[in-house]
Chain A
């Protein structure tokens, strides 16, 4: 199971060097270590402090070698290869040295191997064997570090046992080099040297973010997963893809039978290259949580108790209801939501079911409420709706511009990669109303933090464009070759208008003009510049405009279509990219082809054997509106929870309550399921085969590690529902679904499971033109042909502060929780963050007499709720901030119906609110508690039967 460890990281170089190691000639790139070259030559040099995820350190003195013509015994990890070098790794002298070094290590190490959690997978043990340690002449008496030492068990997922520590520094270096948190250090010196978290804190009190890099790097049982301590070492592993955010990290699920022992980041995973975050690495316990519902259930009314039924009965009931509703209210009275957490194959099937079996286009996905403006904005300007570069290529960026994104919380592995690049010297510009961690990360401070007012992105981006246009920073050649001439000329005139100058926009954004000018110059002239953005851009009334403005900036400076540059929307969920790619929208077929396009429709009609509607169907907000108007009566909701995640909760609840058949397919009885009539148990990512597509368009395999708890994977459930509706679907395996997708979708034409098996992952477009996929988009020309500039007039949102609602509420995420929290709330991650809090600036807090920890009532035009206050200067005066991970918080009770003009993406990021001191929960929260209790009772009835 253990992958080959080359000891030091791979080096790229144009020059190759040939040397001789133990008589074997080996050729490696210049700059490679002797240790790594030796592994390539099939020679394993003993080592303890070296591992190929970390820079060489040279402290353990086990990897010493002899080099012909040189004195002494250099450490092979820190010695670069040279042409013609002759290296000996095994001589009697080296054997002596290594044995002596090992003897010293073991003289301060407990000899409890048989009962140690690392037994069978301990590098110290292996190396003791490799060097032939037979005795410890120093004895075990005397001062040591292993008697009377206290284990630190504060972290819910791993323990720190100083008794086992050999002070190799791997954990400290992993925290610094891979994760960039610098939470660990070696305290003291000499014999006193100890691995220490923070200022001799416990791990939980320290700055540790539980990414697991240190645990992964530890060669002994010093840092050890509690799950391995409990269950022992795994016996096989399954390579798969994380089901949390859109980074799409590769993992090895280490298994014992069908039980997960631990999740280990996969070194060959292209998105993460062996790194991970607390969610993917540790928070997988939800998959077998007792709240999982594993039996299908139905009920006539939502106030009735649930009744467990057979799968057949559930499908028959749902199908009968859907057909009854269509007969009564018309073909378009039902629809479905595609899950951004399910696989591509499953998403494809749901939209196929809607189009072929429901016979309409009423299918939407939660991208509606997150990155729909990305689809529109990038589609209009560049021609395709996706990130333009690979995560890997950010290693070649010189300027990183982050706007409306908090990567260290929302996309932690990309956050770690970005911080690393900044530590290597890239300049960082952060545009965010709040001081996110990246602004002041250790050794990675932002050069500019443009702390703008919420809702003024477009003003800011136009001001940046103004500087680029008026200060002669345009990449004229790039534009002449690659962009539409007239559109550019119009835009140039627009951007140059005095009304768009930083000086004019200063009053709007609240950011000093000089700071905006400096940031614009840096972006335009600092070398390779890459933009990363998130929901802080899209979830606005001008979300699409802001995305267009971002594309304009990138085109104007020629920062698209090369390594190290690009425009990167970081997607929120594991497969939100895929759910869009697979046609999970009311207006497009798989591959972003409009339903009004006759040729495409004909293609699908022929393949699916049905006639298809040429008119776009309903978007989520339209479905909800129509439900309240009485024209939309049935919803098939797969792996999504609009009752918690969508804005204006009370509105969503009322719409769901107005429907006659709501079918929820989920792992848990989520908020939406409280309004459901049919519950179809879902399967976690560990229980099925398929693929996820990440934010860099990378299609990666999801592999079944355990059988579905309910007996069915989600694709099987959708298939059976289609069959019950009278539309035949027959697939033996998701690979057959992918084959159908490939047949019908030009950008996926070259994708198949054999290729994924061979290559590990592939980035679309993947077809005859690029059979190995397309890491970089828009290389020689834009997907749409010529890039199109579009004017981005700033229009303030209707959501304005008034004397009645004087503060702006904006929302965001926290590292340890994931979206609506259905998964992470059912793991030990609640120890890191157990409730949503309201961040408020000390100035605003003082004015209202609010103290840290007080309950405060938050009122908006849409509703009110109560949260606990955290007084902090992270937010600016006039702005309050919260997360939305806990249903009882009701964050979306406050958010309004305002939405993006082009795509209806809700304006989650700007809500005018007032705060009042309160001593009890809001009316909504009290009702929510009552209803929650009632629905759990109805569930218990089903379980009891």
Chain B
């Protein structure tokens, strides 16, 4: 774990408020922030384990367990809700049962006029996602029913 984190720590060495950037970098590199990373981050930043844990759990963005093969984020903010994102979320949860996909709610992807919106991975945005379109996207990813 130490060898994975050291380059990240080095990048942020001496910077004020380095905790969030470090957590982002770790999640980017590993897909999540492992439990074992917390004491190392704490030591690096002269914080306690509890403090780091508090920050990780405060932000829903940070994962404490490894994600599935694919990460699908579904916008649940007001505009998308008005366009049926709640129904889409229910459909998605059913469709993805047992699949190696992490489905997460997200609050606004900036596509309010063309919702419901979905983000696959880090940068693949989709608008006007209906349940049918969602299924097609998942089939495209090879996610089995």
CB of A198 within 8 Å of the partner chain: yes
Is residue A181 within 8 Å, beta carbon to beta carbon, of the partner chain? Answer: yes
Mark interface residues in A176-205 (1 if CB within 8 Å of B CB, else 0).
Answer: 000001111111110010001111100000
Q: In the assembly, what is the distance between CA of A181 and CA of B43, in Å?
A: 13
A442, B46: Cα distance in complex, Å: 5
Query: How far does the Cβ of A197 sit from chain B's closest Cβ, in whole Å?
Result: 7
Query: Is A622 on the interface with B (CB-CB < 8 A)?
Result: no
Cβ of A207 and Cβ of B47 under 8 Å apart? no
With A and B bound together, what is the CA distance between A710 and B43 in angstroms? 51
By the criterion CB–CB under 8 Å, are A185 and B46 in contact? no
A-side contacts of B42, CB under 8 Å: 442
**Which of B44-66 touch A at CB < 8 Å?**
46-54, 57-58
In the complex with contacts A188-B57, A188-B58, A440-B51 CB distance below 8 A: no
Q: A811–B14 Cα gap in the complex (Å)?
A: 35
Report yes or no: B57 in contact with A184, Cβ–Cβ below 8 A. no
A182–B47 contact, CB under 8 A?
A: yes
Closest residue on chain B to residue A192 by CB atoms:
B57
Residue in contact with A199 in the complex, picked from B35, B46, B47, CB distance below 8 Å: B35
B27-52 interface mask toward A, CB cutoff 8 Å, 1 = contact, 0 = none?
00000000100100011001111111
Tell me the complex Cα distance, A207–B54, Å. 14
CB pair A443–B49 under 8 Å, yes or no, is no
Q: A145 at interface (Cβ–Cβ under 8 A)? A: no
Q: In angstroms, how far is the closest chain B Cβ from the Cβ of A194?
A: 9
A781 CA to B54 CA, complexed, in Å: 52
Question: Dominant SS at the B interface?
Answer: helix
Most B CB atoms within 10 A — which of A184, A199, A207? A199
Kindly identify which residue among B38, B48, B54, B58 contacts A442, using a CB–CB cutoff of 8 Å: B48
A445 within 8 A of B: yes
Q: Is the CB of A199 within 8 A of B58?
A: no
Interface membership of A206, Cβ < 8 A: yes
Does the CB pair A185–B47 fall under 8 Å? no
Q: Is the CB of B48 within 8 A of A186?
A: no
Q: A198 to B47, Cβ gap below 8 A?
A: no
Are the C-beta atoms of B54 and A185 separated by less than 8 Å? yes
CA distance A442 to B43 in the complex (A): 8
- A185 — nearest CB in chain B belongs to which residue? B54
Q: How near does chain A come to B5, taking the closest CB pair, in angstroms? A: 16
**In the complex, chain B residues whose CB is within 8 Å of the CB of A199:** 35, 38, 49-50, 52-53
Contact B50 A440 (CB under 8 A): no
A189/B58 in contact, CB under 8 A:
yes
Distance, CA A891 to CA B29, complexed state (A): 48
Give chain A residues whose Cβ lies under 8 Å from the Cβ of B48. Answer: 181-183, 185, 207, 442
A192, B56: Cα distance in complex, Å:
13
Q: Considering the chains assembled together, what is the distance between the CA atoms of A198 and B57 in angstroms?
A: 12
A182 to B48, CA, bound (A): 6
Q: Is B53 touching A182 in the complex (CB atoms < 8 A)? A: no
CA distance A189 to B47 in the complex (A): 20
Chain A proximity of B14: nearest CB distance (Å): 13
Closest to B50 in A: A185
With A188-B58, A199-B35, A199-B38 known as contacts, the answer to whether A442 contacts B53 (CB < 8 A) is no
Cβ < 8 Å to B, chain A residues 150-188: 181-188
* Residue from the set B43, B48, B53, B57 with the largest chain A CB neighbour count within 10 Å: B48
**Does B46 lie within 8 Å of A186, measured CB to CB?**
no
Q: Which residues of B contact A187 (CB under 8 A)?
A: 53-54, 57-58
Per-position 1/0 for A440-472, Cβ under 8 A of B: 101111000000000000000000000000000
Known contacts A188-B58, A189-B58: does B53 contact A198 (CB below 8 Å)? yes
Rounded to whole angstroms, the CA-CA distance of A445 and B48 in the bound complex is 12
When distances are taken between beta carbons in the complex, the residues of chain A under 8 Å from B35 are 199
Q: In the complex, how many angstroms separate the beta carbon of B51 from the nearest chain A beta carbon? A: 6
- The reply to whether B50 and A198 contact each other, CB–CB distance below 8 Å, is yes
**Cα separation A386 to B46 with both chains bound (whole Å):** 34
Contact residues, A397-453 vs B (CB, 8 A): 440, 442-445
The answer to whether B57 touches A207 (Cβ under 8 A) is no
Minimum Cβ distance to chain A for residue B21 (Å): 19
- With A199-B35, A199-B38 as contacts: A443 and B47 at CB distance below 8 Å: yes
Q: Chain A's nearest CB lies how many Å from the CB of B126?
A: 28
- Asked if A445 and B51 make an inter-chain contact with CB atoms under 8 angstroms apart, the answer reads no
Query: Once the chains bind, are A445 and B46 in contact (CB under 8 Å)?
Result: yes
Report the Cα distance A184→B49, complex, angstroms.
9
Would B43 and A440 count as touching, CB distance under 8 A?
Answer: yes
Contact assessment for B51 and A442 in the assembled complex, using a CB-CB cutoff below 8 Å: yes
Hey, which chain B residues are within 8 Å of A181, CB to CB? 48
Contact of B46 among A184, A198, A440 (CB under 8 A): A440
Closest to A208 in B: B50
Whether the pair B43, A185 counts as a contact (CB closer than 8 A) is no
In the complex, are the beta carbons of A206 and B50 less than 8 A apart?
yes
Within the complex, which residue of B38, B43, B47, B53 is in contact with A196, where a contact is CB–CB below 8 Å? B53
- Residue of B43, B50, B54 with most chain A CB atoms under a 10 A cut-off: B50
Write the nearest CB–CB distance from B139 to chain A, whole angstroms: 35
**Roughly how many angstroms separate A440 CA and B43 CA in the complex, as a whole number?**
8
Contacts of B52 in A (CB 8 A): 199
B32 to chain A, nearest CB (A): 14
How far is it, in angstroms, between the C-alpha of A188 and the C-alpha of B38 when the chains are bound? Answer: 16
Interface 1/0s, chain B 93-134, versus A by CB < 8 A? 000000000000000000000000000000000000000000
Is A182 touching B58 in the complex (CB atoms < 8 A)? no
Q: Is the CB of B53 within 8 A of A200?
A: yes
> A207 to chain B: which residues have CB within 8 Å?
48-50
CA distance A207 to B49 in the complex (A): 8
- Complex Cα distance A187/B52, Å? 10
Identify the closest chain B residue to A199 (Cβ): B53
- The chain A residue with its CB closest to the CB of B48 is A182
Q: Chain A 625-669 against B: per-residue CB contact (8 Å), 1 yes, 0 no?
A: 000000000000000000000000000000000000000000000
> How far, in angstroms, from A200 to B52 measured CA to CA in the complex?
11
List A contacts of B53 (CB < 8 A).
185, 187, 196, 198-200
Residue of A nearest to B52 (CB): A199
**Bound Cα distance from A304 to B96, whole angstroms:** 80
Among residues of B, the one whose C-beta sits closest to the C-beta of A186 is: B54
B38: shortest Cβ distance to chain A, in Å?
5
Given the complex, which residues of B lie within 8 Å of A440, measured CB to CB?
43, 46
A23 to chain B minimum Cβ distance, whole angstroms, is 43
State A396–B43 Cα separation when bound (angstroms). Answer: 28
Q: Give the residues from 61 to 111 in chain B that come closer than 8 angstroms, CB to CB, to chain A.
A: none
CA distance A182 to B47 in the complex (A): 8
Report how far A443 CA is from B43 CA in the complex, Å: 10
B46 cross-chain contacts in A, Cβ below 8 A: 440, 442-445
- With A182-B51, A196-B54 known, 9 other A-B pairs at CB within 8 A are A184-B50, A185-B51, A187-B54, A189-B57, A192-B57, A200-B53, A440-B43, A442-B42, A442-B47
* Among all A-B residue pairs, the 8 with the closest Cβ atoms: A185-B54, A182-B48, A185-B50, A187-B57, A442-B48, A199-B53, A445-B46, A189-B58
Interface residues of A (CB under 8 A from B): 181-189, 192, 196-200, 206-207, 440, 442-445
Please, could you name 8 A-B residue pairs with CB atoms under 8 Å apart, sorted by A?
A183-B50, A189-B57, A192-B57, A196-B50, A198-B50, A207-B50, A440-B43, A442-B48
